[in-house]
Structure 1
Amino acid sequence: MGSFQLFGKELSSLKNRKGLLFTLIGIMLIPIVYVAVLLSATWGPYDNLDNLPVAFVNKDAGGVSSGQPINVGNDLMETLKESKSLGWHFVSEKEAMDGLEKQEFYLVVEVPEDFSQKVTTVLDANPQVPELRYIQNEGLNFMGAQVTNSAVERLREQLGDKITATYARTVFARFTDIETGFATGADGSKQILTGTEQLAEGTNTLLSSLTDKSADINQLAAGAKTADDGAGQLLSAITGGTSNINRLASGAKEVASGAGQLKNGSEQVLAGLNSIQGATNQVYNGLQQLQPGSEELLNGLQQLSTGANQLYAGIAVGDGTAANPGLANGLAQLATVLQSKQADIEQLGQGAQLLQGLAQAPGMETYRANLLALSEGLTELATIYPVAVQSASALNNGAQQIAQSMPSLTTGLENAIVGQKTIVGGIDALVTGQGQTVAGVSQLVNGQKAVVSGATQLASGASQVANGNQTLTSSWNQLGTGVSNLKNGLTQISTGNETVALGWQTMTEGVTSLNDGVNRLQAGSNDLATGLEGGRDQVASLRITDENIAMFSSPVALAGEKVNPYEYYRDSTAPYILSLALFVGMLVLSLFVDFKKPAVLPKSAVSWYVSKWMQLAMFATIQAVLVTLFTLVVLQLSVANVMLFILFAIFVSIVFMSIIFFLVSVAGHIGRFIALVLVVAQLSITGSNLPIPMLPENLQAVSSFLPFTYSISGFKSVISLGDVSLLSSNAAILAIYLVGASVLAFIAFIVSYKTLTTKYTPEVEVQPTV
């Protein structure tokens, strides 16, 4: 018997079993019961949130912001009283905790006592963040916990808007102070600008003065250098003349000593001549003794004359060379040079006063010590220089007096020499001729008296010369010391002037930089004044209203739209409910219809398998048609494509039938248990409760092998999405399940057919069991 004939036999057997037929009809209605119960409701889970009991505890004591009292907790409570977001119960803290303990409240929200006070600290140095406390009773219901989570977040947003509005009012309330501050700053910057302009004028004047006086400072440094060089030359000349002065003093001492000896000798000669007059023999003997002494005296007088001439030449005329023009002439030249420079030294004294004034000028702290030292050196030079001029003049006068008295001295010495020669000649004459002795002695006594008188004068003049030379030596040494001090002072002045010149240049450069900085400061002050005035005008132009504050507190509004929206919440669960109903319907059918036992003994395993498959496919089709028609007509489920919806339901029902057909035909009741486990396993990981991407990765991998994953996705594509391509891809994967389960069931029928032929004769009807 062929497959279709065997299929006819299967249907005929159902007619003869009225009870089984009614059972089958009831089984076909099981999916409709699922759908009717789970999809009949048109309300959503958020439609009755005002019945969900939650507690609100307001402990906020309030605060003061910008002089105005605020109480964020009271404001929020008044807002919630008008809201139907949840079933708010406004209770005390004790009532809230008691209700939470008795499982009466799903959520307790508490506004702390210092909430508003912390809100007012937004502009403090250490602002405090207000906290909204809540306790959630998640164990009462998971969906309720999700709803209360959303409610708490919404409360946080509302409080954030209120607090932001408070912040904005606080900030904007201070704009008047900001405007005043800008105005004050603008006035201050203008004063700064005026000050910088005056400072710029001062720095320009100072820079001009420094630039103008730079040449004078350089000239002063050069003049001090020249004076230092001149003092060095003067010191060298004085040092070189010191030896001549010392020799002069020594020669004068020798002359004085010789003159004294001459005086003593002349007096002795005179006494001897007086004695000669008493006794010729004694005179003769005395003359013999006097002759060598007279000659020696002549020689001494000649030497004294030569020394006097040399002294005169050294003092009056020198040796005639440029290097030694003579002491008198040299001192006269020195006095002339010193007197010619006295006006310059007086100018240096005036420069010292200028340097003292410059040292006290602002900005000269760095150079003050050097300028004061230079000023003191110039003052000392101006004080010492007149003394040096007077000393040079006194030396010049002394030298001139000595030079004037020297001719008389030399004349006296020459006369003494002549007289001594006469004495020598007289002595010689006395020695040669005693006849002339008395007359000669008388003449000699008279001449000797003149000699004694001249010798006395000579001794007195020589002593004066020696004393004058000693004074000259002392003055000369003092002059050398003064000139040495003058040289040291001029060296310090020269060094100080060079330092002043360098410092003057550095100060000029610094003042130039300062002038540039002042110009930039002036420009910056002008920009600052302009900017502050502009800021003041901009702040003054701000006029903040409640609308502006509302904009600041909630600057973004949502403007969204939904694509593929659900008309009712049930529409979102329909794919899962339909898949579950079709699978459970076929699973229950397997309890009352034998998926394997044939009505008659089939001729082959193929006809047996095909007839059973066709029978079950018919039941699956009827089941799917009934469920979809009930859903569309009675429940009025809105679908994107009605025909595709019915066809896909039939296809899914046949796929589920093939899976259960395979499990039951292979394992019987164990197969039914496996099918039940398969249903349970697919309840939460096939996109019914959570989107599959939200599942853990291991469960995502498992869901890819479950048929509900693709039936639910296919129903979504045809009910709400209207995506034919998505429907086709899911149908293709379900087709793999269909083919795979059908092939495996066919193999099981082939294996079972061998045992079936031993129990049944061909074409003998086999009554199906219920």
Structure 2
Amino acid sequence: MFKDFHALRKHPVLFLSLIVILFLPIIYSAVFIYSMWDPYGQTQDLPIAIVNNDEGAKIQGKEENLGNRVIDKLKENDDFKWEFIDSKKAKNGIEKGDYFAVIEFPKNFSDDASTMLNPNPKHMEMHVQTNPGYSYSGQSIGDKSIQAVKDNISLSLRELYLKKIFGSIKDMRGQSQELATGLKKMEKAELDLANSSKQVDSGLAKTQAALPPLQNEQFNQLITGSNQITGGLNKLAENTNQITQNIDKSLKQTDNLSFSKENAMTISDPVTTVEHNVTKVENYGQSFAPYVLSLSLYIGAIAFVTIYPVDKRVGESKSAVNWWLNKLGLMVTHGLLQGLFLSLFTQYVIDIEIANRGYFTLTLIVWSIAAVLIVSFLVAAFGNIGKFLAIILLILQLGSSEGTFPIQLTNKFFQTLHTYSPMTYVIKALRESIFDFEGNIPINTAITIIAIIGIVAGCLLYFAYLSRLNLKNIRLNTRDLD
């Protein structure tokens, strides 16, 4: 059972090579994880060009330059490396890759902004240039800068208009209060005038009684006119009172409302996001780790079969079981050490925060052994063609294991393969152990599936050796080892 181990003692070059490739997954994982550790946390170093050609305009009765307003806000924003330059420098810079986005405010930027309350308001234009051919990922991150600028434009515009509108409302309320006070004084004066008119009516009536009959008819017309004036004055006082009551009622409805600048600012930017995430991801490297770790162990398995001739036996044994057990012992040992070393390196050198270290280590070890057995079976069964098949299997897993984008964003072919891809379950188990949640496949189930895949590969490896037992040129010799 230990013939392969004893053979390695006699061939130090091969033994040293196997020791070296034990660390291949570590090297692979370290390079990839460190290179993409926190790209979204480094956007403050991503250069974004701002070109302001805005000539300004009168907005709500006041000269404004909205482009300058937005720039003032961006100077307080450290999400990106904002560079405020002219059009010529921006054009050259976007082509050379000096900037990942160019955002330009045209000369009529504020002029269009001044039409928001016109019968035919104009949409403001913001000219944007990107160069995805130079760096698609950089341009994708740069798209967030465009949204940030749009948000600042909207905020600035809302502030301008709401402050003016709220100021007008405050003035109108003050004027309404003054009008109500004036109307109350006018109503009092009208009532006083009506009372005086009544006294005049009474005096006229007494005078009429003392006049000769011939003059009564003319005097009667005078009394009728005076009575009409008195009635009109009373009616005017009633109407004035009704208007005053309506104004008081309207003012009372706004007693608890405030129209200050602070209110305008709050309404212009009313929403504060409070996040309650199911899991917490520190950075992009941590989120990408499950994919890279599972991939690196499979690559380590390919390196193992490339270095060590798993399709040849040591000695004269004619038993397939003996051949299988000798190889199996070395394969399991290599897989166990490879997975264990990668787990320790990830936890204590890369220093990724892991919620369940036990499950994390177990997943890596089980997958490492399973990957070695899968690739070893393919090589033992098909020779060099098996190495090619192992690479094809890797490629299929890259597209179907949901390591980067959600599987729903891939085509139907890879969505169908998703369920049958071993790395699917490795990535799910690693994510659950790192971020401490239970996905659609619980971690115990995922590890069990990986283990079953490894056991099946191990059993198929036995049958591969059994089928090749009596073939020539499958015995290990010095040249195969050194």
Interval of TM-score (by shorter of Structure 1 and Structure 2): 0.7 to 0.9
Q: Does 1:590 align with 2:301?
A: no
Residue of structure 2 aligned with 1:12, choices 6, 18, 35: 6
Deviation at 1:534, TM superposition (A): 1.7
1:641–1:722 CA contact under 8 A, matched in 2: no
The match for 1:746 is 462
Q: Does 1:59 align with 2:76?
A: no
Q: Distance in 1 between matches of 2:456 and 2:380?
A: 14
Q: Distance in 1 between matches of 2:241 and 2:149?
A: 51
1:324-360 alpha-carbon deviations (Å, 9 max, x no partner):
xxxxxxxxxxxxxxxxxxxxxxxxxxxxxxxxxxxxx
C-alpha change, 1:759 and 1:726, in structure 2 (3 Å) is closer
What does 1:311-326 correspond to in 2, within 5 Å?
Answer: none
The match for 1:100 is 94
C-alpha change, 1:86 and 1:540, in structure 2 (3 Å) is same
The match for 2:416 is 701
C-alpha change, 1:541 and 1:740, in structure 2 (3 Å) is closer
The match for 1:658 is 373
Deviation at 1:739, TM superposition (A): 3.5
Segments of structure 2 that go 5 or more residues without pairing to the other structure are 191-237
Structure 1 length as normaliser, TM-score?
Answer: 0.51
Q: Distance in 1 between matches of 2:443 and 2:352?
A: 18
The match for 2:219 is none
Q: Distance in 1 between matches of 2:177 and 2:131?
A: 55
- What letter matches 1:161 in structure 2? L
Residue of structure 2 aligned with 1:624, choices 320, 329, 339: 339
1:471-506 alpha-carbon deviations (Å, 9 max, x no partner):
xxxxxxxxxxxxxxxxxxxxxxxxxxxxxxxxxxxx
- What letter matches 2:140 in structure 1? Q
Q: Does 1:128 align with 2:122?
A: yes
The match for 1:267 is none
2:286–2:352 CA contact under 8 A, matched in 1: yes
Q: Distance in 2 between matches of 1:524 and 1:710?
A: 82
Deviation at 1:15, TM superposition (A): 0.8
The match for 1:580 is 295
What does 1:177-192 correspond to in 2, within 5 Å?
Answer: 178-179=172-173, 180=175
2:109–2:125 CA contact under 8 A, matched in 1: yes
1:65–1:170 CA contact under 8 A, matched in 2: no
Segments of structure 1 that go 5 or more residues without pairing to the other structure are 1-6, 195-522
1:183–1:533 CA contact under 8 A, matched in 2: no
C-alpha change, 1:617 and 1:63, in structure 2 (3 Å) is same
The match for 2:387 is 672
C-alpha change, 1:529 and 1:686, in structure 2 (3 Å) is farther
The match for 1:717 is 432
What does 1:300-379 correspond to in 2, within 5 Å?
Answer: none
1:13–1:768 CA contact under 8 A, matched in 2: no
Q: Distance in 1 between matches of 2:93 and 2:170?
A: 50
The match for 1:119 is 113
C-alpha change, 1:653 and 1:176, in structure 2 (3 Å) is closer
C-alpha change, 1:717 and 1:525, in structure 2 (3 Å) is farther
- What letter matches 2:107 in structure 1? E
Deviation at 1:566, TM superposition (A): 2.7
2:57–2:114 CA contact under 8 A, matched in 1: yes
Q: Distance in 1 between matches of 2:450 and 2:240?
A: 81
Deviation at 1:79, TM superposition (A): 2.2
C-alpha change, 1:704 and 1:768, in structure 2 (3 Å) is farther
C-alpha change, 1:759 and 1:582, in structure 2 (3 Å) is closer
Q: Distance in 1 between matches of 2:44 and 2:34?
A: 22
C-alpha change, 1:623 and 1:532, in structure 2 (3 Å) is same
Deviation at 1:157, TM superposition (A): 1.3
Deviation at 1:766, TM superposition (A): 5.9
The match for 2:80 is 86
Residue of structure 1 aligned with 2:144, choices 134, 144, 150: 150
Q: Does 1:769 align with 2:480?
A: yes
Q: Distance in 2 between matches of 1:675 and 1:526?
A: 94
Deviation at 1:552, TM superposition (A): 0.8
SS in 1 for 2:267: helix
- What letter matches 1:637 in structure 2? I
Q: Distance in 2 between matches of 1:555 and 1:136?
A: 31
Q: Distance in 2 between matches of 1:729 and 1:528?
A: 78
SS in 2 for 1:139: coil
SS in 2 for 1:73: helix
Deviation at 1:178, TM superposition (A): 4.5
1:225-274 alpha-carbon deviations (Å, 9 max, x no partner):
xxxxxxxxxxxxxxxxxxxxxxxxxxxxxxxxxxxxxxxxxxxxxxxxxx
Q: Distance in 2 between matches of 1:643 and 1:556?
A: 42
C-alpha change, 1:121 and 1:538, in structure 2 (3 Å) is farther
What does 1:555-570 correspond to in 2, within 5 Å?
Answer: 555-570=270-285
Deviation at 1:62, TM superposition (A): 1.5
SS in 2 for 1:705: coil
C-alpha change, 1:102 and 1:24, in structure 2 (3 Å) is closer
The match for 1:635 is 350
Q: Distance in 2 between matches of 1:10 and 1:587?
A: 19
C-alpha change, 1:176 and 1:17, in structure 2 (3 Å) is closer
Q: Does 1:551 align with 2:262?
A: no
Q: Distance in 2 between matches of 1:182 and 1:686?
A: 71
C-alpha change, 1:624 and 1:695, in structure 2 (3 Å) is same
- What letter matches 1:727 in structure 2? I
Q: Distance in 2 between matches of 1:537 and 1:655?
A: 78
2:2–2:329 CA contact under 8 A, matched in 1: no
What does 1:135-534 correspond to in 2, within 5 Å?
Answer: 135-176=129-170, 178-179=172-173, 180=175, 530-534=245-249
1:119–1:163 CA contact under 8 A, matched in 2: yes
1:183–1:532 CA contact under 8 A, matched in 2: no
Q: Distance in 2 between matches of 1:25 and 1:118?
A: 70
The match for 1:77 is 71
1:641–1:719 CA contact under 8 A, matched in 2: yes
Deviation at 1:674, TM superposition (A): 1.8
SS in 2 for 1:140: coil
1:711-750 alpha-carbon deviations (Å, 9 max, x no partner):
1111111122254972112223323422332333333222
2:3–2:326 CA contact under 8 A, matched in 1: no
Q: Distance in 2 between matches of 1:104 and 1:695?
A: 32
More helix per residue:
1
1:56–1:90 CA contact under 8 A, matched in 2: yes
Q: Does 1:645 align with 2:356?
A: no
SS in 2 for 1:565: coil
- What letter matches 2:324 in structure 1? Y
- What letter matches 1:647 in structure 2? L
The match for 2:233 is none
C-alpha change, 1:56 and 1:528, in structure 2 (3 Å) is same
- What letter matches 1:146 in structure 2? S
Deviation at 1:172, TM superposition (A): 1.6
C-alpha change, 1:25 and 1:125, in structure 2 (3 Å) is same
SS in 2 for 1:79: helix
Q: Distance in 2 between matches of 1:759 and 1:630?
A: 37
Residue of structure 2 aligned with 1:600, choices 315, 336, 343: 315
Report which of the two structures shows the higher radius of gyration computed on alpha carbons. 1
Q: Distance in 2 between matches of 1:579 and 1:162?
A: 48
C-alpha change, 1:731 and 1:181, in structure 2 (3 Å) is same
> Aligned residues: percent identity?
27
Q: Distance in 2 between matches of 1:755 and 1:43?
A: 50
1:596–1:612 CA contact under 8 A, matched in 2: no
